[in-house]
Chain A
Amino acid sequence: MKRTIVPLGPQHPVLPEPLVLDLVLEDERVVDAVPTIGYIHRGLEAMVEKVEYTEMGFVAERICGICSFMHGMGFCASIEDIMGVEVPERARWLRLVWAELSRIQSHLLWLGLGSDAFGFENLFMHCWRMREEILDIFEATTGGRIIFSVNRIGGVKRDIADSELAGIAERLRALGERFAEIARVFRADPSIHHRLAGVGVLPAGEALAAGAVGPMARASGLATDTRLLGTHGYDRLDFEPVVEAGGDCLARVLVRLREVEQSIDLIRQLVDRMPKGDGQPIETRVRGLPDGETFMRLEQPRGEVVYYLKANGTKYLERFRARTPTFANIPAMISLVRGHDLADVPNIILTIDPCISCTER
Protein backbone atom coordinates (compact mmCIF):
# COMPACT_ATOMS: atom_id res chain seq x y z
CA MET A 1 0.00 0.00 0.00
CA LYS A 2 1.50 3.27 -1.11
CA ARG A 3 1.11 6.45 0.93
CA THR A 4 0.80 9.72 -0.91
CA ILE A 5 -0.05 13.24 0.12
CA VAL A 6 -2.37 15.13 -2.20
CA PRO A 7 -2.64 18.88 -1.65
CA LEU A 8 -6.16 20.26 -2.09
CA GLY A 9 -6.29 24.00 -2.71
CA PRO A 10 -5.71 26.89 -2.23
CA GLN A 11 -6.83 27.26 -5.82
CA HIS A 12 -9.22 24.45 -6.66
CA PRO A 13 -11.94 24.20 -9.32
CA VAL A 14 -14.64 22.89 -6.97
CA LEU A 15 -14.09 25.35 -4.15
CA PRO A 16 -14.27 29.06 -4.89
CA GLU A 17 -12.43 29.76 -1.65
CA PRO A 18 -8.87 28.88 -0.68
CA LEU A 19 -9.49 25.99 1.65
CA VAL A 20 -6.22 24.10 2.02
CA LEU A 21 -6.07 20.45 3.04
CA ASP A 22 -3.18 18.04 2.78
CA LEU A 23 -4.86 14.71 2.18
CA VAL A 24 -2.84 11.68 3.24
CA LEU A 25 -3.89 8.79 1.01
CA GLU A 26 -3.38 5.06 1.02
CA ASP A 27 -4.11 4.26 -2.60
CA GLU A 28 -7.45 6.03 -3.11
CA ARG A 29 -8.48 6.05 0.53
CA VAL A 30 -8.00 9.10 2.73
CA VAL A 31 -6.35 8.23 6.04
CA ASP A 32 -5.80 11.74 7.30
CA ALA A 33 -6.40 15.36 6.41
CA VAL A 34 -4.30 18.25 7.66
CA PRO A 35 -5.84 21.70 7.24
CA THR A 36 -3.71 24.80 6.73
CA ILE A 37 -5.22 28.20 7.35
CA GLY A 38 -4.33 31.83 6.86
CA TYR A 39 -4.93 32.42 3.16
CA ILE A 40 -7.88 34.72 3.82
CA HIS A 41 -6.83 36.03 7.20
CA ARG A 42 -7.14 39.81 7.22
CA GLY A 43 -6.94 40.63 10.89
CA LEU A 44 -10.44 42.00 10.91
CA GLU A 45 -11.11 41.70 14.63
CA ALA A 46 -8.05 43.79 15.46
CA MET A 47 -9.43 46.59 13.30
CA VAL A 48 -11.54 47.71 16.29
CA GLU A 49 -8.40 49.47 17.47
CA LYS A 50 -8.40 51.67 14.38
CA VAL A 51 -12.06 51.91 13.39
CA GLU A 52 -14.63 53.70 15.54
CA TYR A 53 -17.38 51.51 16.95
CA THR A 54 -20.03 53.33 14.93
CA GLU A 55 -18.31 52.30 11.69
CA MET A 56 -17.12 48.88 12.78
CA GLY A 57 -20.50 47.41 11.83
CA PHE A 58 -19.62 47.90 8.18
CA VAL A 59 -16.38 46.01 8.71
CA ALA A 60 -18.17 43.24 10.64
CA GLU A 61 -20.55 42.89 7.71
CA ARG A 62 -17.62 42.08 5.50
CA ILE A 63 -16.52 39.11 7.61
CA CYS A 64 -18.38 37.14 4.98
CA GLY A 65 -20.24 38.16 1.86
CA ILE A 66 -22.82 35.37 2.13
CA CYS A 67 -24.17 35.95 5.61
CA SER A 68 -23.15 39.61 5.67
CA PHE A 69 -26.49 40.83 6.96
CA MET A 70 -26.37 38.63 10.03
CA HIS A 71 -22.81 39.65 10.89
CA GLY A 72 -23.89 43.29 10.76
CA MET A 73 -26.97 42.47 12.81
CA GLY A 74 -24.92 40.59 15.41
CA PHE A 75 -22.46 43.43 15.80
CA CYS A 76 -25.13 46.11 16.08
CA ALA A 77 -27.19 44.02 18.50
CA SER A 78 -24.09 43.53 20.68
CA ILE A 79 -23.41 47.26 20.87
CA GLU A 80 -27.09 47.90 21.57
CA ASP A 81 -26.89 45.36 24.37
CA ILE A 82 -23.85 47.06 25.92
CA MET A 83 -25.35 50.55 25.65
CA GLY A 84 -28.85 49.50 26.65
CA VAL A 85 -30.42 50.90 23.50
CA GLU A 86 -34.07 50.07 22.90
CA VAL A 87 -34.49 49.17 19.22
CA PRO A 88 -37.80 50.29 17.67
CA GLU A 89 -40.31 47.49 17.21
CA ARG A 90 -40.47 47.89 13.44
CA ALA A 91 -36.67 47.61 13.08
CA ARG A 92 -36.63 44.36 15.05
CA TRP A 93 -39.17 42.78 12.73
CA LEU A 94 -37.43 44.09 9.60
CA ARG A 95 -34.11 42.65 10.75
CA LEU A 96 -35.71 39.22 11.00
CA VAL A 97 -37.18 39.54 7.50
CA TRP A 98 -33.73 40.26 6.05
CA ALA A 99 -32.14 37.59 8.24
CA GLU A 100 -34.50 34.88 7.00
CA LEU A 101 -34.13 36.08 3.40
CA SER A 102 -30.37 35.74 3.90
CA ARG A 103 -30.88 32.18 5.03
CA ILE A 104 -32.87 31.33 1.90
CA GLN A 105 -30.24 33.02 -0.26
CA SER A 106 -27.38 31.24 1.45
CA HIS A 107 -29.02 27.81 1.29
CA LEU A 108 -29.92 28.21 -2.39
CA LEU A 109 -26.33 29.25 -3.05
CA TRP A 110 -25.08 26.21 -1.18
CA LEU A 111 -27.51 23.80 -2.84
CA GLY A 112 -26.12 25.04 -6.15
CA LEU A 113 -22.48 24.68 -5.15
CA GLY A 114 -23.23 21.26 -3.70
CA SER A 115 -24.85 20.12 -6.95
CA ASP A 116 -21.82 21.37 -8.85
CA ALA A 117 -19.58 19.30 -6.56
CA PHE A 118 -21.49 16.10 -7.23
CA GLY A 119 -21.58 16.83 -10.93
CA PHE A 120 -25.17 18.01 -11.44
CA GLU A 121 -24.50 21.29 -13.19
CA ASN A 122 -28.05 21.72 -14.42
CA LEU A 123 -29.32 21.76 -10.84
CA PHE A 124 -26.59 24.24 -9.90
CA MET A 125 -27.92 26.64 -12.52
CA HIS A 126 -31.52 26.22 -11.37
CA CYS A 127 -30.64 26.92 -7.74
CA TRP A 128 -28.69 30.03 -8.63
CA ARG A 129 -31.44 31.28 -10.90
CA MET A 130 -33.84 31.11 -7.95
CA ARG A 131 -31.25 32.80 -5.75
CA GLU A 132 -31.24 35.80 -8.08
CA GLU A 133 -34.90 36.39 -7.19
CA ILE A 134 -33.94 36.74 -3.53
CA LEU A 135 -31.14 39.10 -4.54
CA ASP A 136 -33.74 41.16 -6.44
CA ILE A 137 -35.70 41.53 -3.21
CA PHE A 138 -32.52 42.59 -1.39
CA GLU A 139 -31.71 45.10 -4.06
CA ALA A 140 -35.20 46.57 -3.99
CA THR A 141 -35.28 46.86 -0.20
CA THR A 142 -31.68 47.74 0.68
CA GLY A 143 -29.93 48.82 -2.51
CA GLY A 144 -27.29 46.10 -2.39
CA ARG A 145 -27.11 42.56 -3.70
CA ILE A 146 -24.44 41.19 -1.40
CA ILE A 147 -23.46 43.80 1.16
CA PHE A 148 -26.44 45.83 2.36
CA SER A 149 -25.11 48.11 5.13
CA VAL A 150 -28.69 48.45 6.26
CA ASN A 151 -28.03 47.73 9.94
CA ARG A 152 -27.29 50.62 12.20
CA ILE A 153 -26.60 50.70 15.90
CA GLY A 154 -30.07 51.44 17.22
CA GLY A 155 -32.11 50.14 14.31
CA VAL A 156 -32.09 49.87 10.55
CA LYS A 157 -31.46 52.40 7.81
CA ARG A 158 -34.40 51.66 5.55
CA ASP A 159 -38.03 50.79 6.06
CA ILE A 160 -39.93 48.37 3.86
CA ALA A 161 -43.43 49.62 3.06
CA ASP A 162 -46.33 47.35 4.07
CA SER A 163 -47.41 46.94 0.45
CA GLU A 164 -43.87 45.92 -0.44
CA LEU A 165 -43.79 43.39 2.40
CA ALA A 166 -46.98 41.83 1.12
CA GLY A 167 -45.41 41.69 -2.32
CA ILE A 168 -42.32 39.95 -0.89
CA ALA A 169 -44.49 37.36 0.85
CA GLU A 170 -46.36 36.72 -2.40
CA ARG A 171 -43.13 36.46 -4.37
CA LEU A 172 -41.76 33.98 -1.88
CA ARG A 173 -44.93 31.90 -2.05
CA ALA A 174 -44.50 31.62 -5.82
CA LEU A 175 -40.79 30.92 -5.34
CA GLY A 176 -41.70 28.18 -2.87
CA GLU A 177 -43.79 26.43 -5.52
CA ARG A 178 -40.92 26.46 -8.00
CA PHE A 179 -38.53 25.44 -5.25
CA ALA A 180 -40.69 22.38 -4.57
CA GLU A 181 -39.79 21.08 -8.04
CA ILE A 182 -36.07 21.42 -7.34
CA ALA A 183 -36.52 19.89 -3.90
CA ARG A 184 -38.23 16.92 -5.54
CA VAL A 185 -35.14 16.36 -7.72
CA PHE A 186 -32.84 16.48 -4.69
CA ARG A 187 -35.07 14.06 -2.80
CA ALA A 188 -35.80 11.57 -5.56
CA ASP A 189 -32.97 11.58 -8.08
CA PRO A 190 -31.14 8.23 -7.92
CA SER A 191 -27.81 9.68 -9.09
CA ILE A 192 -27.82 12.16 -6.21
CA HIS A 193 -28.62 9.40 -3.74
CA HIS A 194 -25.84 7.32 -5.22
CA ARG A 195 -23.30 10.06 -4.54
CA LEU A 196 -24.55 11.24 -1.16
CA ALA A 197 -26.46 8.55 0.75
CA GLY A 198 -24.30 6.84 3.34
CA VAL A 199 -21.28 9.05 2.55
CA GLY A 200 -19.61 10.98 5.36
CA VAL A 201 -21.81 9.72 8.20
CA LEU A 202 -21.53 11.78 11.38
CA PRO A 203 -23.29 10.00 14.28
CA ALA A 204 -25.09 12.18 16.82
CA GLY A 205 -22.59 11.40 19.57
CA GLU A 206 -19.62 12.39 17.45
CA ALA A 207 -21.38 15.56 16.28
CA LEU A 208 -21.89 16.52 19.90
CA ALA A 209 -18.33 15.65 20.87
CA ALA A 210 -16.83 17.57 17.94
CA GLY A 211 -19.03 20.58 18.72
CA ALA A 212 -20.80 20.66 15.37
CA VAL A 213 -23.35 23.43 14.91
CA GLY A 214 -26.15 24.41 12.57
CA PRO A 215 -27.38 22.20 9.73
CA MET A 216 -24.39 19.91 10.28
CA ALA A 217 -25.55 19.08 13.84
CA ARG A 218 -29.23 19.00 12.89
CA ALA A 219 -28.54 16.50 10.10
CA SER A 220 -27.08 14.20 12.77
CA GLY A 221 -30.25 14.30 14.83
CA LEU A 222 -29.32 17.05 17.28
CA ALA A 223 -32.14 19.56 17.68
CA THR A 224 -29.91 22.57 18.23
CA ASP A 225 -31.00 25.88 16.81
CA THR A 226 -30.03 29.18 18.40
CA ARG A 227 -33.29 30.67 17.18
CA LEU A 228 -35.07 28.50 19.75
CA LEU A 229 -33.64 30.73 22.48
CA GLY A 230 -36.25 33.23 21.37
CA THR A 231 -33.82 36.15 21.33
CA HIS A 232 -33.89 38.84 18.61
CA GLY A 233 -37.67 38.38 18.37
CA TYR A 234 -37.77 34.75 17.32
CA ASP A 235 -40.05 34.05 20.31
CA ARG A 236 -42.85 35.67 18.33
CA LEU A 237 -42.67 33.05 15.58
CA ASP A 238 -43.81 29.44 15.53
CA PHE A 239 -41.31 26.95 14.22
CA GLU A 240 -39.67 23.63 14.97
CA PRO A 241 -35.97 22.97 14.33
CA VAL A 242 -35.37 20.97 11.15
CA VAL A 243 -33.83 17.66 12.17
CA GLU A 244 -32.79 14.68 10.07
CA ALA A 245 -31.52 11.44 11.54
CA GLY A 246 -29.25 10.18 8.75
CA GLY A 247 -26.07 12.12 9.53
CA ASP A 248 -24.76 11.56 6.00
CA CYS A 249 -24.20 13.99 3.14
CA LEU A 250 -27.76 13.44 1.94
CA ALA A 251 -29.20 14.33 5.35
CA ARG A 252 -27.26 17.60 5.31
CA VAL A 253 -28.76 18.41 1.91
CA LEU A 254 -32.25 17.55 3.16
CA VAL A 255 -31.88 19.77 6.24
CA ARG A 256 -31.04 22.75 4.05
CA LEU A 257 -33.88 21.98 1.64
CA ARG A 258 -36.35 21.97 4.51
CA GLU A 259 -34.85 25.10 6.02
CA VAL A 260 -35.51 27.00 2.81
CA GLU A 261 -39.16 25.96 3.12
CA GLN A 262 -39.11 26.86 6.81
CA SER A 263 -37.68 30.32 6.18
CA ILE A 264 -40.29 31.04 3.51
CA ASP A 265 -42.91 30.16 6.11
CA LEU A 266 -41.20 32.30 8.77
CA ILE A 267 -41.21 35.34 6.49
CA ARG A 268 -44.92 34.79 5.85
CA GLN A 269 -45.47 34.73 9.63
CA LEU A 270 -43.35 37.86 10.06
CA VAL A 271 -45.30 39.77 7.44
CA ASP A 272 -48.62 38.61 8.97
CA ARG A 273 -47.75 39.43 12.58
CA MET A 274 -45.77 42.63 12.10
CA PRO A 275 -47.55 45.74 13.41
CA LYS A 276 -48.95 47.45 10.33
CA GLY A 277 -48.56 51.07 9.32
CA ASP A 278 -45.95 52.96 7.36
CA GLY A 279 -43.89 55.74 8.87
CA GLN A 280 -43.13 54.01 12.18
CA PRO A 281 -39.76 54.81 13.80
CA ILE A 282 -36.99 52.50 12.62
CA GLU A 283 -33.98 53.90 14.37
CA THR A 284 -33.15 55.05 17.89
CA ARG A 285 -30.60 57.79 17.99
CA VAL A 286 -27.59 56.54 19.94
CA ARG A 287 -25.55 58.92 22.03
CA GLY A 288 -22.55 58.36 24.25
CA LEU A 289 -19.85 55.73 24.26
CA PRO A 290 -20.16 52.04 25.05
CA ASP A 291 -18.68 50.65 28.23
CA GLY A 292 -18.94 47.00 29.23
CA GLU A 293 -18.90 43.61 27.58
CA THR A 294 -21.39 41.23 26.06
CA PHE A 295 -21.92 37.87 24.42
CA MET A 296 -24.34 37.55 21.54
CA ARG A 297 -25.58 34.42 19.82
CA LEU A 298 -27.28 34.21 16.45
CA GLU A 299 -28.30 31.38 14.17
CA GLN A 300 -26.65 31.98 10.83
CA PRO A 301 -27.34 29.85 7.74
CA ARG A 302 -24.26 27.78 8.62
CA GLY A 303 -24.98 27.51 12.30
CA GLU A 304 -24.47 29.31 15.53
CA VAL A 305 -22.24 32.37 15.60
CA VAL A 306 -21.02 33.84 18.88
CA TYR A 307 -19.86 37.42 19.25
CA TYR A 308 -17.91 38.78 22.18
CA LEU A 309 -17.47 42.51 22.49
CA LYS A 310 -15.66 44.47 25.13
CA ALA A 311 -15.86 48.26 25.25
CA ASN A 312 -13.93 50.57 27.51
CA GLY A 313 -15.78 53.86 27.34
CA THR A 314 -13.86 55.19 24.35
CA LYS A 315 -14.94 55.26 20.73
CA TYR A 316 -12.67 52.33 19.99
CA LEU A 317 -13.70 48.91 21.28
CA GLU A 318 -11.22 46.96 23.31
CA ARG A 319 -12.01 43.54 21.86
CA PHE A 320 -14.22 42.10 19.16
CA ARG A 321 -14.37 38.38 18.66
CA ALA A 322 -16.57 36.25 16.42
CA ARG A 323 -16.69 32.46 16.69
CA THR A 324 -18.12 31.55 13.32
CA PRO A 325 -20.02 28.35 12.51
CA THR A 326 -17.55 26.92 9.99
CA PHE A 327 -14.79 27.15 12.58
CA ALA A 328 -16.91 24.97 14.86
CA ASN A 329 -17.62 22.47 12.09
CA ILE A 330 -14.06 21.93 10.84
CA PRO A 331 -13.06 19.31 13.47
CA ALA A 332 -16.08 17.21 12.50
CA MET A 333 -15.25 17.63 8.80
CA ILE A 334 -11.68 16.41 9.31
CA SER A 335 -12.92 13.28 11.05
CA LEU A 336 -15.48 12.73 8.27
CA VAL A 337 -13.05 12.62 5.36
CA ARG A 338 -10.98 9.85 6.98
CA GLY A 339 -11.72 6.49 5.43
CA HIS A 340 -13.40 7.87 2.33
CA ASP A 341 -12.38 7.80 -1.31
CA LEU A 342 -10.55 10.82 -2.66
CA ALA A 343 -13.41 11.43 -5.11
CA ASP A 344 -15.87 11.85 -2.22
CA VAL A 345 -13.77 14.45 -0.43
CA PRO A 346 -15.14 17.51 -2.29
CA ASN A 347 -18.70 16.37 -1.48
CA ILE A 348 -17.97 15.90 2.19
CA ILE A 349 -16.18 19.23 2.45
CA LEU A 350 -19.01 21.04 0.71
CA THR A 351 -21.80 19.50 2.77
CA ILE A 352 -20.50 21.28 5.87
CA ASP A 353 -21.02 24.48 3.84
CA PRO A 354 -17.56 25.84 4.56
CA CYS A 355 -17.11 29.58 4.68
CA ILE A 356 -13.40 30.19 4.86
CA SER A 357 -13.56 33.96 5.03
CA CYS A 358 -15.77 33.62 8.14
CA THR A 359 -13.35 31.12 9.63
CA GLU A 360 -10.19 33.10 9.08
CA ARG A 361 -11.61 36.62 9.16
Chain B
Amino acid sequence: MSFFRRSPWILHYDGSSCNGCDIEVLACLTPLYDVERFGVVNTGNPKHADILLVTGSVNERNVEIVENLYRQMPDPKVVVAVGACACSGGIFARAYNVQGGIDRVVPVDVYVPGCAARPERIIDGVVQGIAALEGKRAAMAAGRRRGALRPQSGSQPAGAA
Protein backbone atom coordinates (compact mmCIF):
# COMPACT_ATOMS: atom_id res chain seq x y z
CA MET B 1 0.00 0.00 0.00
CA SER B 2 1.59 3.26 -1.09
CA PHE B 3 -0.57 5.64 0.92
CA PHE B 4 -3.80 5.71 2.84
CA ARG B 5 -6.79 7.21 1.14
CA ARG B 6 -8.00 8.36 4.52
CA SER B 7 -6.96 8.41 8.16
CA PRO B 8 -8.97 5.71 9.89
CA TRP B 9 -10.38 6.51 13.30
CA ILE B 10 -10.58 3.55 15.57
CA LEU B 11 -13.00 2.61 18.30
CA HIS B 12 -11.65 0.02 20.68
CA TYR B 13 -13.93 -2.15 22.75
CA ASP B 14 -12.72 -4.74 25.23
CA GLY B 15 -15.09 -7.71 25.14
CA SER B 16 -14.18 -10.30 27.72
CA SER B 17 -10.48 -10.26 27.04
CA CYS B 18 -7.70 -10.83 29.55
CA ASN B 19 -6.23 -7.34 28.96
CA GLY B 20 -3.34 -8.77 27.00
CA CYS B 21 -4.65 -7.69 23.59
CA ASP B 22 -6.02 -4.40 24.97
CA ILE B 23 -2.62 -3.50 26.26
CA GLU B 24 -1.10 -4.37 22.89
CA VAL B 25 -3.71 -2.19 21.17
CA LEU B 26 -2.65 0.67 23.44
CA ALA B 27 1.01 -0.17 22.83
CA CYS B 28 0.37 0.54 19.12
CA LEU B 29 -0.20 4.17 20.08
CA THR B 30 2.96 4.59 22.11
CA PRO B 31 6.42 5.62 20.86
CA LEU B 32 7.75 2.25 19.64
CA TYR B 33 4.90 1.74 17.16
CA ASP B 34 3.16 5.13 17.17
CA VAL B 35 0.39 4.61 14.62
CA GLU B 36 -0.82 8.16 15.10
CA ARG B 37 1.91 9.34 12.75
CA PHE B 38 -0.07 7.55 10.00
CA GLY B 39 -3.24 9.33 11.03
CA VAL B 40 -4.70 6.39 12.92
CA VAL B 41 -6.55 7.90 15.86
CA ASN B 42 -8.06 6.08 18.82
CA THR B 43 -11.42 7.71 19.47
CA GLY B 44 -13.90 7.10 22.26
CA ASN B 45 -16.93 8.10 20.23
CA PRO B 46 -18.54 5.45 18.01
CA LYS B 47 -20.02 8.11 15.75
CA HIS B 48 -16.52 9.29 14.86
CA ALA B 49 -15.13 5.85 14.15
CA ASP B 50 -14.42 3.99 10.91
CA ILE B 51 -12.98 0.81 12.35
CA LEU B 52 -14.28 -1.13 15.33
CA LEU B 53 -11.44 -3.00 16.99
CA VAL B 54 -12.75 -5.66 19.33
CA THR B 55 -10.58 -7.68 21.69
CA GLY B 56 -11.99 -10.58 23.66
CA SER B 57 -14.99 -12.76 23.12
CA VAL B 58 -18.71 -12.28 23.42
CA ASN B 59 -20.47 -13.11 26.68
CA GLU B 60 -24.02 -12.75 28.02
CA ARG B 61 -23.47 -9.23 29.13
CA ASN B 62 -21.53 -7.50 26.40
CA VAL B 63 -23.51 -8.77 23.38
CA GLU B 64 -25.70 -5.71 23.31
CA ILE B 65 -22.79 -3.33 23.97
CA VAL B 66 -20.98 -4.60 20.86
CA GLU B 67 -24.20 -4.42 18.84
CA ASN B 68 -24.87 -0.88 20.08
CA LEU B 69 -21.40 0.36 19.26
CA TYR B 70 -21.55 -1.18 15.78
CA ARG B 71 -25.00 0.28 15.10
CA GLN B 72 -23.86 3.77 16.06
CA MET B 73 -20.89 3.81 13.69
CA PRO B 74 -21.47 5.54 10.35
CA ASP B 75 -21.20 3.60 7.08
CA PRO B 76 -18.84 2.47 5.64
CA LYS B 77 -17.52 0.62 8.68
CA VAL B 78 -15.18 -2.26 9.28
CA VAL B 79 -14.78 -4.65 12.19
CA VAL B 80 -11.37 -6.03 13.12
CA ALA B 81 -11.34 -8.94 15.58
CA VAL B 82 -8.07 -8.80 17.53
CA GLY B 83 -6.70 -11.91 19.20
CA ALA B 84 -7.72 -15.53 19.49
CA CYS B 85 -10.64 -14.76 21.83
CA ALA B 86 -12.23 -12.24 19.46
CA CYS B 87 -11.75 -14.61 16.53
CA SER B 88 -13.16 -17.78 18.07
CA GLY B 89 -13.34 -17.58 21.86
CA GLY B 90 -9.74 -18.79 22.07
CA ILE B 91 -8.64 -20.57 25.20
CA PHE B 92 -11.89 -19.55 26.88
CA ALA B 93 -14.14 -21.07 24.21
CA ARG B 94 -15.14 -23.79 26.69
CA ALA B 95 -15.88 -21.41 29.59
CA TYR B 96 -19.56 -21.26 30.47
CA ASN B 97 -20.05 -17.56 29.98
CA VAL B 98 -18.24 -17.29 26.65
CA GLN B 99 -20.41 -17.58 23.56
CA GLY B 100 -17.62 -17.45 20.99
CA GLY B 101 -15.96 -14.98 18.66
CA ILE B 102 -17.48 -11.59 17.96
CA ASP B 103 -18.59 -12.72 14.51
CA ARG B 104 -21.56 -14.16 16.39
CA VAL B 105 -22.82 -10.61 16.85
CA VAL B 106 -21.38 -8.34 14.16
CA PRO B 107 -19.90 -9.08 10.74
CA VAL B 108 -16.11 -9.28 11.00
CA ASP B 109 -13.93 -8.12 8.10
CA VAL B 110 -10.45 -8.86 9.40
CA TYR B 111 -9.30 -11.54 11.85
CA VAL B 112 -6.06 -10.89 13.71
CA PRO B 113 -4.65 -14.08 15.29
CA GLY B 114 -2.44 -14.37 18.34
CA CYS B 115 -2.61 -14.75 22.09
CA ALA B 116 -1.85 -12.00 22.76
CA ALA B 117 -1.86 -10.47 19.28
CA ARG B 118 1.40 -8.63 18.70
CA PRO B 119 1.29 -4.89 17.89
CA GLU B 120 2.73 -5.54 14.41
CA ARG B 121 -0.13 -7.91 13.70
CA ILE B 122 -2.72 -5.49 15.03
CA ILE B 123 -1.33 -2.73 12.81
CA ASP B 124 -1.38 -5.11 9.86
CA GLY B 125 -5.00 -5.95 10.69
CA VAL B 126 -5.90 -2.26 10.68
CA VAL B 127 -4.12 -1.75 7.34
CA GLN B 128 -6.16 -4.61 5.88
CA GLY B 129 -9.20 -3.02 7.49
CA ILE B 130 -8.46 0.18 5.58
CA ALA B 131 -8.46 -1.78 2.31
CA ALA B 132 -11.83 -3.29 3.26
CA LEU B 133 -13.07 0.17 4.15
CA GLU B 134 -12.02 1.50 0.73
CA GLY B 135 -13.84 -1.40 -0.94
CA LYS B 136 -17.02 -0.64 0.98
CA ARG B 137 -16.76 3.08 0.25
CA ALA B 138 -16.38 2.39 -3.49
CA ALA B 139 -19.37 0.03 -3.38
CA MET B 140 -21.45 2.67 -1.61
CA ALA B 141 -20.44 5.32 -4.15
CA ALA B 142 -21.33 2.97 -7.01
CA GLY B 143 -24.67 2.27 -5.33
CA ARG B 144 -25.38 6.00 -5.12
CA ARG B 145 -24.57 6.48 -8.81
CA ARG B 146 -26.84 3.62 -9.83
CA GLY B 147 -29.54 5.03 -7.57
CA ALA B 148 -29.28 8.44 -9.29
CA LEU B 149 -29.57 6.92 -12.76
CA ARG B 150 -32.29 4.41 -12.05
CA PRO B 151 -34.53 5.54 -9.22
CA GLN B 152 -36.23 2.84 -7.19
CA SER B 153 -39.59 1.70 -8.50
CA GLY B 154 -42.55 3.72 -7.27
CA SER B 155 -40.72 7.03 -7.00
CA GLN B 156 -40.97 9.62 -9.74
CA PRO B 157 -37.75 10.60 -11.51
CA ALA B 158 -36.78 14.05 -10.28
CA GLY B 159 -37.09 16.11 -13.45
CA ALA B 160 -35.09 14.93 -16.41
CA ALA B 161 -32.04 14.18 -14.30
> Interface on A for B, CB 8 Å cutoff?
10-13, 16-18, 38-44, 46-47, 50-51, 58-59, 62-66, 68, 109, 112, 124-125, 128-129, 132, 144-147, 355, 357, 360
Residues of A within 8 A of B149 (CB): none
B47 to chain A, nearest CB (A): 12
**Any A CB within 8 A of the CB of B7:** no
What are 14 sample pairs from A and B whose C-beta atoms fall under 8 A apart?
A11-B44, A11-B65, A13-B43, A16-B12, A42-B59, A42-B92, A43-B97, A50-B94, A62-B92, A66-B19, A66-B20, A128-B31, A146-B24, A357-B17
CA distance A147 to B91 in the complex (A): 13
Residues of B within 8 A of A109 (CB): 23
Residues of B within 8 A of A129 (CB): 30-32
Asked if A68 meets B31 with Cβ closer than 8 Å, knowing A18-B14, A38-B61, A43-B95, the reply is no
Residues of A within 8 A of B108 (CB): none
> Interface on B for A, CB 8 Å cutoff?
11-27, 30-32, 43-44, 46, 56-57, 59-62, 65, 69, 91-92, 94-98, 115-116, 118
Residues B27 and A64 in contact, CB atoms below 8 Å apart: no
Partner of A147, one of B20, B46, B60, B61: B20
Residues B116 and A147 in contact, CB atoms below 8 Å apart: yes
Asked if A43 meets B14 with Cβ closer than 8 Å, knowing A11-B44, A62-B91, A65-B116, the reply is no
CA distance A51 to B60 in the complex (A): 22
CA distance A4 to B122 in the complex (A): 39
Residues A41 and B61 in contact, CB atoms below 8 Å apart: yes
CA distance A10 to B68 in the complex (A): 12
CA distance A146 to B25 in the complex (A): 12
CA distance A39 to B14 in the complex (A): 9
Partner of A128, one of B14, B30, B94: B30
Partner of A41, one of B11, B69, B97: B97
Chain A interface helix/strand/loop/mixed: loop
**Chain B residue with minimal CB distance to A65?**
B20
Asked if A41 meets B116 with Cβ closer than 8 Å, knowing A51-B94, A132-B27, A132-B30, the reply is no
**Chain B residue with minimal CB distance to A126?**
B31
Residues of B within 8 A of A68 (CB): 18, 20
Residues of B within 8 A of A39 (CB): 16, 59, 61-62, 65
Residues A10 and B18 in contact, CB atoms below 8 Å apart: no
Partner of B118, one of A17, A41, A46, A145: A145
CA distance A250 to B55 in the complex (A): 32
Residues A16 and B26 in contact, CB atoms below 8 Å apart: yes
CA distance A59 to B85 in the complex (A): 12
CA distance A178 to B17 in the complex (A): 33
Residues B30 and A17 in contact, CB atoms below 8 Å apart: no
Residues of A within 8 A of B69 (CB): 11
Residues A63 and B44 in contact, CB atoms below 8 Å apart: no
A113 to chain B, nearest CB (A): 8
